[in-house]
């Protein structure tokens, strides 16, 4: 499920908060908010070249060194 992304959502997100307000508005128009089910696994190769942000909830990052919540 996806939702529309507002320009104000980008105001505090790094590094996009450095963009000019008009640039953030254009980025928001082409971006989206995806609601993922609990337990959904994503790999870095699936998301490349996108930037992903966790806006709410929890995420477990898994690397060769272990897991981090």
Q: What confidence tier does 47 reach under pLDDT thresholds 50, 70, 90?
A: low
- pTM for this entry: 0.66
What is the secondary structure of the chain as a DSSP string? -EEEPPGGGGGGSTTGGGS-HHHHHHHHHH-EEE---TT----HHHHTT------SS---EEETTEEE-
- Taking residues 5-21, what's their average pLDDT? 90
pLDDT of 23 above 90: yes
* Other beta carbons within 10 Å of 16: 17
């Amino acid at each position: 499920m996806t939702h529309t992304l507002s320009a104000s959502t980008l105001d505090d997100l790094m590094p996009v908060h450095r963009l000019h307000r008009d640039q953030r508005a254009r980025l928001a128009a082409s971006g989206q908010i995806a609601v993922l089910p609990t337990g959904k696994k994503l790999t870095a190769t699936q998301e490349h070249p996108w930037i992903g942000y966790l806006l709410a909830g929890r995420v477990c990052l898994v690397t060769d060194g272990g897991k981090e919540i």
